Structure 1
Amino acid sequence: MADLVAAGAPELPEGWFYRVKEEYGVGFKVEIREQQRFTSREVSSSWVHENRFDDMAAAVVDACRYAYLYAGERADTQAKLAALAEFLGDHDPKGGRA
C-alpha cells in the first residue's frame, strides 16, 4: 500500500488495505478491504480505466481515489440510515393509549 500512497492514492485507516485484482474478461479493479480476524471484507471498489491514462500507475491511483470516495459515501449513507432507524415504530400524536 505504501507504493500506492506514495504515488498519490489516499491513505487508508488502520486495518484497511488496497487490493488490485483482475476480473477475467472484464478488466482490472481496485478494492478497499477491511481486515477481519481470518479473512477480509470489501468496503468499496472501483474499476481501473486504463484507456484514459498513458501511465498505468496513474490509472490505478485514480481507481484508488474513486474507491476511497465511494467508501466515504457509503459510510455517510450508513450513518443516515442508522439515524433514521431511531424513528422506527408508531408515533401517536396523542401520546398513545393509557
Structure 2
Amino acid sequence: MSMAQLVAAGAPELHGSYFYRVRESSIDSLLVEIRRQKGRWRSVAVAEAWVYHEHDVTAEAAIVDACIRAFKVWKERVGHHVAYVAAVEYIGDHDPKGRK
C-alpha cells in the first residue's frame, strides 16, 4: 500500500522526509510506525501504534486507524518538544530587579 493509498483511505498525510511503515512485530501482531528518513539508507521511528485486528473491520481500516493514532502521538511529542525549546531561553538566574 502506498502513501497515497493510505491517505486516500483516511490516514493523515505526512510531509517532507516522513513516511509510514507497517511491520510485523511478533506473531500475529502488526505495528504502524511514522519514520523520518535520515540520509539515503537510514530512517528513525518517531511514533508508533499497534494495529488492532477486529472481526468486523477490514485490514485497510485497521491500518488507517493505527496511522491516525500514531499521528496523534507524534503531534503530541512535537508539541512538547516545541514547548521545551521555547522554555529553554528562560534557563538561568533571574534578577528580581530586572537586571542581567
How many Å separate the matches in 2 of 1:67 and 1:61? 10
Residue number in structure 2 paired with 1:70: 73
Q: Is 1:82 matched up with 2:85?
A: yes
2:12 corresponds to 1:10: yes
Percent of pairs with identical residues: 44
- Within-5 A mapping of 1:1-98: 1-25=3-27, 27-37=29-39, 38-51=41-54, 53-94=56-97, 95=99
Report Cα offsets for 1:17-54 as digits up to 9, x if no partner. 10001111472110000111130011111111113752
Gap runs ≥5 in structure 2: none
TM-score, normalised to structure 2, is 0.86
By how many angstroms is 1:90 displaced?
Answer: 0.7
Count of residues in correspondence between the two structures: 96
TM-score when normalising by structure 1 = 0.87
Q: Which moved more, 1:23-32 or 1:10-19?
A: 23-32
Over the aligned positions, Cα root-mean-square deviation in angstroms equals 1.7
Q: Shift of residue 81 of structure 1?
A: 0.4
SS at match of 1:43: strand
Structure 1: which 4+ aligned runs deviate by more than 3 Å?
Answer: none
Question: Where does the alignment leave 5 or more consecutive residues of structure 1 unmatched?
Answer: none
